[in-house]
């Protein structure tokens, strides 16, 4: 088995059906794949919208959960049953371009693991141990949907929380934990002799459409079950980077992402901020936690003020997030 595609479903019956259809079309279109080399695993998290009844009729391996176990835990159920050398985590609210699977697989084939240089600081800019590749995400209108970011640090978190990455000109060159602001849409991608032009190195990428070598899971484990939803991709990539795995976005492989289909934007805001607190508690020095808490609260207050002035509903989201920090 070459690839296992894992989709977590929760009350997104129409989108899930469309997602599976595009995966099947990508498999059928591929010169590398057929039903003996590709499998589709769907983990349903206690949907109540008829998803399970539909999924039982489709050519997928279905895992039915009686409760909503969360995004990370459900993906881990699929990973445990996956037989592929490559594992693709795919949101149910995505649609694959017909060539996306082939292009991502080709990227892994082109970048074989080279253990002779992977652990050398002198080869830090080389992609010689490529473990995780995300597709380029696009919005329904075809525009680029930025994703990923720099490794969490006090500096990169401060840049994000204090909105420094939104500064004109300068902002897009500052290290930020989230590369999702407007400034990052026109930022030049990484280039150089060690990096394929279409490949952009990142410290972390979104699990929205993320392909992973099986050997990465074997070495560092799966997603963190303690993270219900949001931030689990940052934490997973952080562990991967600490084990010298390279991470990148392949801009030639396109995936449409509708966004926030099985959860609200408010939940995303709260989940993101609380995830940072968990990641710091798990991976960072204890003395940084009070500073992180201060940055998160300051960032929430800053957004409450700005969105309040603009009369935007996001102000209420950050008030609720602030109450949980």
More confident residue, 196 or 87: 87
Whether residues 172 and 285 fall in one domain: no
> Is residue 168 helix, strand or coil?
coil
Residue 87 in tokens? 């594992």
CATH number at residue 71: 3.90.550.10
Domain range for 278:
264-325
pLDDT digit string, tens, across residues 263-305: 567 888 899 999 999 999 999 999 999 999 999 999 999 999 9
Whether residues 160 and 306 fall in one domain: no
Whether residues 271 and 244 fall in one domain: no
Q: Report the chain's mean pLDDT, rounded to a whole number.
A: 91
How far is CA 121 from each of CA 116, 118, 125, 233, 243, rounded to the nearest angstrom?
12, 8, 9, 25, 13
Spatial separation of the C-alpha atoms in residues 298 and 295, rounded to whole Å: 5
pLDDT digit string, tens, across residues 147-201: 999 999 999 999 999 999 888 888 888 999 998 765 555 544 444 333 445 899 9
Whether residues 207 and 65 fall in one domain: yes
Whether residues 317 and 197 fall in one domain: no
Whether residues 12 and 104 fall in one domain: yes
Segment of 88-97, 140-149, 173-182 carrying the highest mean pLDDT: 88-97
More confident residue, 166 or 54: 54
Task: Quote the number of domains for the chain.
Answer: 2
Whether residues 98 and 243 fall in one domain: yes
pTM of the model: 0.92
**Among residues 263, 280, 314, which one ends one of the domains?**
263
Whether residues 144 and 70 fall in one domain: yes
């Amino acid at each position: 088995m070459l690839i296992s595609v894992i989709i977590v479903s929760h009350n997104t019956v129409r989108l899930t059906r469309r997602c599976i259809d595009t995966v099947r079309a990508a498999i059928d279109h591929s010169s590398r794949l057929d039903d003996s080399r590709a499998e589709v695993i769907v983990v349903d998290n206690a949907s109540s919208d008829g998803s399970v009844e539909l999924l039982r009729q489709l050519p997928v391996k279905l895992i039915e959960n009686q409760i909503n176990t969360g995004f990370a835990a459900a993906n881990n159920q699929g990973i445990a049953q996956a037989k592929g050398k490559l594992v693709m985590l795919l949101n149910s609210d995505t649609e694959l371009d017909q060539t996306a699977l082939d292009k991502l697989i080709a990227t892994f084939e082109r970048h074989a693991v080279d253990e002779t240089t992977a652990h050398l600081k002198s080869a830090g800019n080389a992609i010689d141990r490529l473990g995780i590749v995300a597709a380029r995400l696009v919005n329904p209108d075809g525009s680029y949907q930025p994703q990923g970011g720099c490794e969490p640090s006090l500096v990169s978190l401060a840049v994000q929380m204090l909105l420094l990455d939104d500064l004109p000109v300068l902002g897009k060159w500052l290290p930020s934990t989230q590369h999702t602001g407007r400034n990052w849409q026109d930022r030049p991608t990484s280039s150089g002799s060690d990096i394929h032009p279409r490949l952009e190195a990142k410290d972390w990428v979104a699990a929205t459409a993320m392909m992973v070598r099986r050997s990465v899971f074997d070495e560092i484990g799966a997603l963190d079950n303690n993270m219900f939803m949001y931030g689990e991709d940052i934490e997973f990539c952080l562990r991967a980077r600490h084990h010298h795995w390279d991470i990148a976005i392949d801009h030639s492989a396109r995936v449409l992402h509708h966004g926030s289909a099985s959860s609200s934007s408010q939940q995303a805001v709260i989940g993101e901020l609380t995830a940072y607190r968990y990641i710091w508690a798990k991976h960072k020095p204890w003395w940084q936690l009070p500073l992180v808490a201060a940055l998160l609260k300051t960032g929430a207050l800053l957004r409450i003020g700005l969105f309040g002035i603009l009369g935007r509903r996001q102000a209420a989201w950050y008030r609720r997030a602030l109450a949980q920090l």
